[in-house]
Amino acid sequence: MKKDMELANEVIRISGANPIRCMKCGKCSASCPSFNEMEYAPHKFVDMVVHGRIEELMESKSIFHCLSCFACVERCPRGVEPAKIVEAIRVVKQRQIGENYLDANDIPAIVDEQIPQQALVSAFRKFKK
Amino acid sequence: MQGLELKLKERLQKLLDDGTVDCVIGWTKGEFIYDVTPAIFTKESGLDGFVYNSFCGANLSKYLVSQITSDKKFAVILKPCDTYSMNQLITEHRVNRENIYIIGVGCSGHIDIDKVKAQGVSGITNVIDNDNNIIINSIYGDSKIEKASVLLSKCQSCKGSELKISDEIIGEGIKTPTCDERFDGVKKLEAMTAEERFAFWKSELSKCIRCNACRNICPACTCRTCVFDNARSNVAAKANATEFEEKMFHIIRAFHVAGRCTDCGECSRVCPQSIPLHLLNRKFIKDINEFYGDYQAGEESNQRNPLVNFTESDIEATVISDKEGK
Amino acid sequence: MLKIGVFVCWCGSNIAATVDVKQVVEAVKLQQGVVFATDYQYMCSEAGQLIMRNAIEEYKLDGVVICSCSPRMHEATFRKNAERAGLNPFMVEIANIREHCSWIHKDVEEGTIKAIALANAAIAKVKLNAPLISGESGVTKRALVIGGGIAGIQTALDIAEAGFQVDIVEKSPTIGGNMAKLDKTFPTLDCSACILTPKMVDAAANPNIELLTYSEVEKVSGFVGNFKATIRKKARYINTDLCTGCGDCMSKCPSKKGKNEFNCGLNNRPAIYIPFAQAIPNVAVIDPVQCIKITKDKCGLCQTVCSAKAIDYKQQDEIIEREYGAIVAATGYKPIKLDKFDEYGYSQSKDVITSLELERLMNAAGPTGGKLVKPSDGSHPHTITFIQCVGSRDISGRGKCYCSKICCMYTAKHAMLIRDKYPDVNVNVFYIDVRTPGKNYDEFYRRAVEEYNVNYIKGQVGKVYESDGHLVLQASDLLNNEQILVNSDMVVLATAIEADESAKKVASMLTASIDTNNFLTEAHAKLRPVESPTAGIFLSGVCQGPKDIPETVSQASACAAKVIGLLSKAKLVTNPCVAHSDELLCNGCSNCANVCPYGAIGYETKLINDHGIRENRRVAVVNPALCQGCGACTVACPSGAMDLFGFSNSQIMAEVEAICKK
Amino acid sequence: MIYSYYPGCTLKTKAKELDIYARKSLEALGIEIEELDNWQCCGGVYPLAKDEIATKLSSIRTLNQAKELGRPLLTLCSACHHVLTRVNNDMKTNGDINMRANNYCAFDEPYNGETQVIHFLTLLKEVVGFDNLAKKVVNPLKGRKIGAYYGCLLLRPSNELAFDDPENPSILEDFIKALGATPVVYPFRNECCGGYISVTNKSQATKNVDKIVASAKYKGCEQLITACPLCMYNLNENAGADKIEVKYFTELLAEALGVK
Amino acid sequence: MQEVKDFKPTIVAFCCNWCSYAGADLAGSSRLSYPADVKIIRVPCSGRVNPMFILKAFERGADGVIICGCHPGDCHYSTGNYYTRRRLALLYSMLDYMGIERGRTRVEWVSAAEGVKFSTVMNKFVEDIRALGECVKLGDIRCKD
């Protein structure tokens, strides 16, 4: 339990967000364009961080479905900034050796003619360390 | 100058004779030409010994404060810079304007005898002051000195030749060519580091012997009983026991006259220890001008002193604590 | 040598948990002059007060220091107690070791040291206290109520009933306020107009009440019992004595494009108008910005049709000056602007409305005659969805941090009324929490769910958009952990309420304090809820914080009771902590009079005997009835002649010295 | 006033049109720009983690370069604008990031967020003025019903970007109006198209794009315009069955100004 | 270095009865902590604070003096704090001019509803004073221990 909370505090520190302010209104999940892709919806994310359930989140693919579009951050009435929390978990995971979501070797197979450079730059920035 | 003295004397005699005034506040001559002392002449005593020359630099307005309850009428000789003090005293009800007949004299600057002596002249018998250069007769012969170099400090930042209040004007004056900008001294200090400023004031104020000359000459310091003399004020002291008390006295004195000080420069002139006290008063004047807009105490009577005034959009007091820099 | 007694309160564990009270007692005993010191669990209790009284008598105490809670809490209690024991009440000082010490520090050693320092400062001060006798001042038997909504009306009626004169100053052309716009009221569903308009009529008919509508208070000076207000009566361009309220002018006015304020801008009104049929006073007013005659000097039709000859295009604002004994702020509220909440599409779709607009749409006197239709096309809606907490409980900077308190209940009311009148209409409510404390409130909400089948969905709405001819709400259904899309014909936003924009200005004029949300602060949250900390200023209704109608009316009456209590006094006891001038030190320079906000300092030429010198001097004289004891004069005075009883120069210096003593 | 112009990586490769038309239009409007020498990639995404410094350095170097030239930094690509603006904010307001970044970069003078980052659209609105722009239009795009696609990067978080109303923006609509075309407001213009996952999760991107296209078509858009190469790619390549023409806003601008 | 860490400054806070003293009460009842080094003196209005009190505090060993009053425009006595603002801007400027660290003096406006602000202000002020260390430039050496 103690270890879980330490990890959660690390996530909160990296994110700079403030999950304890959440009043469980569901505004983030109501705004999320990736809701249906995610195992854990944004409001659930926030709640799990508050309760130290970081490892479950790290194991979930949900963290790679967040678009960082900031709709949740923009609309949250409590200034919780869920997108920052998701990113922080993603960062914690990627900082562990061998936990990259994206492998450079897979890239040639998935790119097409038109893909802008920026898409690759961002994908690597978001999903690989 | 000699002509002016005669004119004044003639006019004052007339005022005494026709009963316009009962007394005259002027100067009486001493042993030497530069040895002049403010004095009160009455009808009875006549104007014997009356003098007006290049050394009559003192501001006579304060001598009226103690006469406020007198029912006599006074004639007073005021130079342009002295009239600011007069206005301020009128504003604060410290003189009775009805009993005062103000003779404004034209002025082209007064001479600091110490500065003359410092140029190596001694045995002075007479001074002829009609020009940019003055001629000094001494027992060792005559010498010619540039007047600007021996002006009183306060004349070096002359406020101008305009008399702000007077009942009649005798003689013409000119604004003395100023040697320095009024706030140069303050700016020089402000440009120093805090440590340097602290050291400067520590060394200056440690010279203070609490003789109260500054307080006694100051036309703004007119309290019947000064807080520093009032045993019940918790700050009374006859001498500076600590460095703190030196600072306390001068900060509070400057604060009490802030917004009321006309910058007449008498405090520095009379200080036997040559402490540049006017630099404290001028700091307040400079800040007042910068924070709340230009203000000259005594410019006219019945002005509202900036410390008993405000605007809703005044600068915040944190302007100091949040200030960047040294 | 003064004999001082010190009493250290535990305040249960509030103080004793962080401050070693025994150690404080021992420490203060070492102070010169302290002849008695003790501690007790609750000094403010009767037993505690008895200990104090006994000690005063037994030890012949000259001064008392209580180490306890804030003097703002119990200074008056302990002073009264001292008086009971024969000690002048102003010989009591409080060391605040609770709010300023035990409650904010955790370390006992640290807390105890600070408590001792604060006690020593109070001891140092009390030794310099002087017995003071309170003076008296008169009371003007007239009250001013600022705001003519239900709060102001109720307060005014109650005061008038008690036989005192009251003026209601209302900035809009009619009294009635927000309540006049409502259709029905919860939890009993009676018609708002039916219960409000009789009160409006009563207010107009009561000989003790004068209505100053279309007027604003511009300046207030003075103090409790003796206020003076400057009121601007804005030009109505109508002679109100002549106008019969027939309304002929309204139908003839060619300039009809003014937003109808009363209907929340849902329809238009002419340039000359009566706000609504039951308006009080029922007289017209001309909007000078809209009127063609006033702006361009053309038209003048209304003057020709007015058979009462009531129209006066040249009318000017009128300034009235009146004196009052008490002033009531009843400035009310308004819904917040929704421009920062456009994810709900309020500015993009006409069918997204606020709850107050819905009130007008459902009101028989409203723009649709009470028929609920979609504002976009006038058609009948089939589904209506309510969104709660729009801008309430919001700390993101877009909305208000507080709960607006009335929305849960009025939304249940709206849902119920719609389902009752139009059973074919489906009603959804998105909520975060449903808050229904209040008599019969939860029962009311449950009826909406259980009897009227209103569909309550726990979750917030992320976006409202248009698709396929209707609105779609993309929302959370938290209980099902789903993101849902709900189709709806209309969306109603339970918009947060905020203090009326006039509140800040009024508070400033009244020198009443205001909180960060612009709600006026009460003197004590629990014990003095209808008084402002400024004596003689009272708070009625939502200007103090969100409230529903029952609460507003109770508070308005409570406020009236306080006003009546004040106005019934023949004389008021004045604060004896006033300024006074030492004639021997006074220079007569007028600096003090220049800073006095009350004009309490005058000058006299007096024969003064200064150590044998007798002379006439101009000296400052403080009028203790006018002086409120701010002390600004004491600092303006360079000679130290001016001082303040209760907070004298030497007392404050003594405190400074005691605190700085290491 | 000369503006330092920051094109960014994609405008040199896959989004050349966005860049070329912008340059031509600015010339026609008489606004002088100079491409920043040796600009570095902005990083593509703004690193949200508070303890990330390294990933912000390239942006900081770019910003500092503009500062040394004493010019505002003109951006065009939404992503570049987003990243540069937010990093600049950090340098202005976050003491920790500022200190660590300055320690690392060791510029001649510390960089404290002095550079003004201005987006091309803001330049059009505030410097040129849409009224003036309308006057310079030679080929008004009369009768064309154009939808603005903002996406997420330009608008959010609004307290940092301060670009437009995040829920009901109007700058692109005003732009379309100035060109003589009819702007069509549709609800999904500020919803994310899923750019960041376009490489790793095409199906998710497709779902987002479909919603946007459906919303635009429902409201009567014939064409969409965007400022973001990533959105452009996504809306074009990852659309499902229903497609809509998407153009860079600069292409329309050049067309209307007669410099295409 | 150790010494600096253990430095317990003496800080005098003059608070007006109507706003800032009440704000301090609210900080207390909301349990918003700030260092015990701060000791509050109640005055009716910030306009009651005489520059001599401030100097006296320094003489007797204060390391920092802060004056808190109602926000300008909200003074209980209408105008008192406007005078305070002028007096203290000038006094503090003079102390700065004499080389006294300007961080030792402060004015803050704290309303009765701003308990949080009161606590924040005091925490910050104490932190600043701790960083400045003991006040040696003003003060009577005889009053130091």
Domains in chain A (CATH in brackets) are 2-96 (1.10.1060.10), 102-129 (no CATH)
Strand-pair category, B133-138 with B124-129:
antiparallel
Q: What is the pLDDT of residues D68-107, one digit of tens each?
A: 999 999 999 999 999 999 999 999 999 889 999 999 999 9
The answer to whether residue C135 is domain-embedded is: no
Do residues C261 and C275 make contact, with C-beta atoms less than 8 angstroms apart? Answer: yes
Q: Answer whether residue C505 is part of any domain.
A: no
**Measured between CA atoms, how close is D62 to chain C, in angstroms?**
32
Location of structure tokens 């600015």:
D26
Show which subunits contact E, needing at least 3 CB pairs below 8 angstroms: B, C
> Rounded distance, CA C371 to CA C606, Å?
79
Confidence of residue E141 (pLDDT cuts 50, 70, 90): low
Same domain, C491 and C563: no
Nearest to B314 among E52, E85, E92 (CB): E85
List all residues 6 or more positions away from C417 whose beta carbon is below 8 Å from its beta carbon: C183, C184, C189, C362
Residue B177's pLDDT is: 66
Instruction: Write the residue in E79, E89, E99 that is nearest to B194 by C-beta.
Output: E99
Kindly list the residues from chain A whose CB atom is less than 8 angstroms away from the CB atom of residue D239: none
Residue B178 has pLDDT above 70, yes or no: no
Radius of gyration of chain B (CA): 21
Q: Is the distance from CB of E39 to CB of C117 less than 8 angstroms? A: yes
CB contact under 8 A, A127 and D43: no
CATH of domain D129-257: 3.40.50.1860
Residue B320 above 90 pLDDT? no
DSSP 8-state symbol, D123 = I
State which residue of chain E sits closest to C98, comparing Cα positions: E28
Average per-residue pLDDT for chain E:
91
- Chain A contact set for D204 (CB, 8 A): 34, 37, 65
Residue E43, φ and ψ in degrees, nearest 5:
-130, 155
CA distances from A97 to A65, A94, A128, A129, C408 (A): 21, 7, 11, 9, 51
Mutate to test the interface with C, among B223, B226, B248 (most CBs of C within 10 A): B223
Contact indicator for C141, C224 with CB cutoff of 8 Å:
no
Distance to chain A for C434, nearest Cα, Å:
12
Q: Kindly list the partner chains of chain A, i.e. chains with 3 or more CB atom pairs below 8 Å.
A: C, D
Interface of chain B against chain C, CB under 8 Å? 69, 91-94, 222-227, 230, 232-234, 256-257, 304-305, 307-309
For residue C60, the domain's CATH number is 3.40.50
Helix (H, G, I), strand (E, B) or coil at D143: coil
pLDDT at C518: 94
CATH number of the domain encompassing residue C624 = 3.30.70.3270
Interface of C with B in 575-594 (CB under 8 A): 584-591, 594
In the predicted structure, residue B70 carries a pLDDT above the cut 90: no
Of C295, C321, C170, the C-alpha closest to C237 is: C295
Nearest CA to C537 out of C569, C504, C559, C570 is that of: C559
Name residue, tokens 């520093």. B228
pLDDT of residue E145: 46
Chain C nearest C-alpha distance from E122 (Å): 12
> Would you call E138 and B244 a contact, using CB atoms and an 8 Å cutoff?
yes
* pLDDT, average across residues C353-358: 97
In the stretch 22-81 of chain E, residues with CB closer than 8 A to chain C read 22, 24-25, 27-29, 31-34, 36, 39-45, 47-53, 56-57, 60-62, 70, 73-80
Q: SS3 for D117?
A: strand
Quote the pLDDT of residue E3.
Answer: 45
Pseudo-torsion of CA C392, C396, C397, C400, nearest 10°?
20
pLDDT at D257 over 90: yes
CB-CB neighbors (< 8 A) of C352 in chain D: none
Question: Strands C482-488, C470-477: parallel, antiparallel or unpaired by DSSP?
Answer: antiparallel
Restricting to D residues 176-235, those with a Cβ less than 8 Å away from any Cβ of C are 185, 187-188, 191, 214-215, 218-219
Pairwise CA distance, residues D190 & E30, whole Å: 42
The whole-number pLDDT of residue B44 equals 87
Judged by CB atoms closer than 8 Å, whether chains meet at C345 and D187 is answered as yes
Sign of the torsion formed by the C-alpha atoms of B155, B159, B162 and B166: negative
Residue A120 has pLDDT above 90, yes or no: no
Q: Which residue has the tokens 């270095």?
A: E1
Residues of B in contact with E139 (CB under 8 A): 244
Query: What pLDDT sits at residue E140?
Result: 67
CA distance C462 to C447: 28
Average confidence (pLDDT) over C405-427: 97
Angstrom distance (rounded) from CA B276 to CA B257: 16
Q: Quick one: pLDDT band at residue E2, thresholds 50, 70, 90?
A: very low
- Residue C581 has a pLDDT of 95
- C419 and C444 share one domain: yes
* CB contacts, 8 Å: E111 with chain C: 513-516, 521
Report the pLDDT value the prediction gives residue B246, as an integer from 0 to 100: 87
- The structural domains of chain B, with segments of one domain joined by +, span 2-170, 184-321
Residue-wise pLDDT for D186-215, tens only, equals 999 999 998 888 888 888 999 999 999 999
| Total CB pairs under 8 A between chain A and C | 69
Hey, are the CB atoms on C99 and E111 less than 8 Å from each other? Answer: no
Between the alpha carbon of residue B89 and those of residues B65, B165, C298, E100, the distances in Å are 8, 12, 60, 33
Beta bridge partner(s), residue C67: C8, C95
| Biggest CA-to-CA distance, chain E | 47
pLDDT of residue C215: 98
ipTM of the shown complex? 0.75
Domain of C223, CATH number, reads 3.50.50.60
Averaged confidence pLDDT in chain B: 90
Q: Is the dihedral of CA D130, D133, D134, D140 positive or negative?
A: negative
Q: What is the DSSP letter of C250?
A: H
Please compute the mean of the pLDDT values over residues D158-169 and round it to a whole number: 94
Q: What is the DSSP string of D217-256?
A: HHTT-SEEEES-HHHHHHHHHS--S---EEEEHHHHHHHH
B98: Cβ contacts below 8 Å, ≥ 6 apart: none
Q: How far is CA C411 from the centre of its chain?
A: 26
The partner residue sitting opposite C590, judged by closest CB among B69, B92, B230, is B92
Assign domain E2-134 to a CATH class. Answer: alpha beta
- E64 to chain B: nearest residue by CA? B321
C window 429-488, beta carbon within 8 A of D: 463, 465-468
- In B, residues 237-266, which contact E (CB 8 Å cutoff)? 242-245, 247-248, 251-252, 254-255, 258
Q: What is the least distance, in Å, from the CA of D51 to any CA of chain A?
A: 6
- Give contacts of A44 with chain C, Cβ < 8 Å: 481
Residue D72 DSSP SS3:
coil
pLDDT greater than 50 at residue D156? yes
Structure token pair of residue E35: 């260092």
Rg (CA), chain E: 15
User: Is residue D258's pLDDT more than 80?
Assistant: yes
Q: Do C639 and B223 touch (CB under 8 A)?
A: yes
**CB atoms < 10 A from the CB of C128, how many?**
17
Query: A110 and D199: CB-CB below 8 Å?
Result: yes
Domain coverage including residue C413: 336-498
Nearest CA in chain D to C349: D187
User: What is the least distance, in Å, from the CA of C465 to any CA of chain D?
Assistant: 6
Task: Tell me the C-alpha to C-alpha distance, in Å, between residue D94 and each of C25, C568, C643, D101, D162.
Answer: 49, 60, 49, 11, 18
CA distance A32 to chain D (A): 9
Instruction: With beta carbons under 8 A apart, name residues in chain C contacting E115.
Output: none
Which class would CATH give D2-120? mainly alpha
- C340 with C328, same domain: the answer is no
Alpha carbons within 13 A on the beta-carbon side of B153 = 18
Please give the C-alpha separations between residue B30 and each of B43, B44, B105, C168, C224, in angstroms, as whole numbers.
Answer: 21, 21, 22, 78, 65
E133 CB neighbour count, 10 Å cutoff: 13
Fill in the DSSP letter of residue D113.
S
Number of domains in chain C: 5
Higher confidence at residue D251 or residue B172?
A: D251
C-alpha distances in angstroms, B118 versus B53, B132, B136, B290, C320?
20, 19, 14, 37, 72
Based on the fold, state whether residues C220 and C93 are members of the same structural domain. Answer: no
Q: Which chains touch D (3 or more CB pairs under 8 A)?
A: A, C
Instruction: Tell me which chain B residue has its CA closest to the CA of residue C649.
Output: B233
Chain B residues whose beta carbon lies within 8 Å of the beta carbon of residue E140 = 242, 244-245
Q: Where are the domains of chain E?
A: 2-134
Mark out the alpha helices in C275-434 (DSSP H runs): 292-296, 301-305, 355-362, 407-421
E chain contacts of residue C129, beta-carbon cutoff 8 Å? none
Are residues C390 and C473 part of one domain?
yes
Q: Tokens 């804005």 identify what position?
A: C234
Tokens of D40: 């570095």
CA distances D229 to A94, B226, D79, D216, Å, are: 27, 79, 9, 19
> Do the Cβ atoms of C10 and C41 come closer than 8 Å?
yes
Mean per-residue pLDDT, C492-514: 93
In C401-481, the DSSP E strands lie at 426-431, 455-458, 461-467, 470-477
Asked if the model's pLDDT at residue B326 lies above 70, the reply is no
Answer whether A38 touches D (CB < 8 Å): no
Cβ contacts of C639 on chain B, cutoff 8 Å: 223-227, 230
CA-CA distance, D39 to D24, in Å (whole number)? 21
- Which residues in chain C have their CB less than 8 angstroms from residue B87's CB? none
Same domain, C192 and C328: yes
Joined tokens for residue E136: 């040696």
pLDDT of the residue at B179: 63
| Shortest CA distance from C93: residue in chain E | E42
| Across B96-102, average pLDDT | 94
- Judged by CB atoms closer than 8 Å, whether chains meet at B283 and E97 is answered as yes
Mark whether C599 and C560 lie in a shared domain.
Answer: no
d(CA C21, CA C15): 8
pLDDT of residue E5: 55
Distance from the Cα of C120 to chain E's closest Cα (Å) equals 12
